[in-house]
Amino acid sequence: KNQVEQSPQSLIILEGKNCTLQCNYTVSPFSNLRWYKQDTGRGPVSLTIMTFSENTKSNGRYTATLDADTKQSSLHITASQLSDSASYICVVRASGYSTLTFGKGTMLLVSP
Partner 1 sequence: NAGVTQTPKFQVLKTGQSMTLQCAQDMNHEYMSWYRQDPGMGLRLIHYSVGAGITDQGEVPNGYNVSRSTTEDFPLRLLSAAPSQTSVYFCASSPFGPASSYNEQFFGPGTRLTVL
C-alpha span between 41 and 38 (Å, rounded): 8
Quote the DSSP letter at residue 35.
E
Q: Which stretch binds partner 1 (CB under 8 A): 12-20, 31-39, 58-66, 70-78?
A: 31-39
Judged on CB neighbours under 10 Å (0-12, 13-18, 19+), 33 is buried
- For partner 1 (CB under 8 A), the number of binding residues is 24
Least spacing, CB of residue 109 vs partner 1, in Å: 16
Q: Annotate 1-12 with b (16+ C-beta within 10 A) or e (fewer).
A: eeebebeeeebe
Is 32 one of the binding residues for partner 1 (CB under 8 A)?
Answer: yes
Decide: is 22 part of the binding site for partner 1 (CB under 8 A).
no
Contact flag: residue 31 with partner 1 (CB under 8 A): yes
Residues forming contacts to partner 1 in the complex (CB under 8 A) are 4, 31-32, 34, 41-46, 49, 51, 89, 93, 96-105
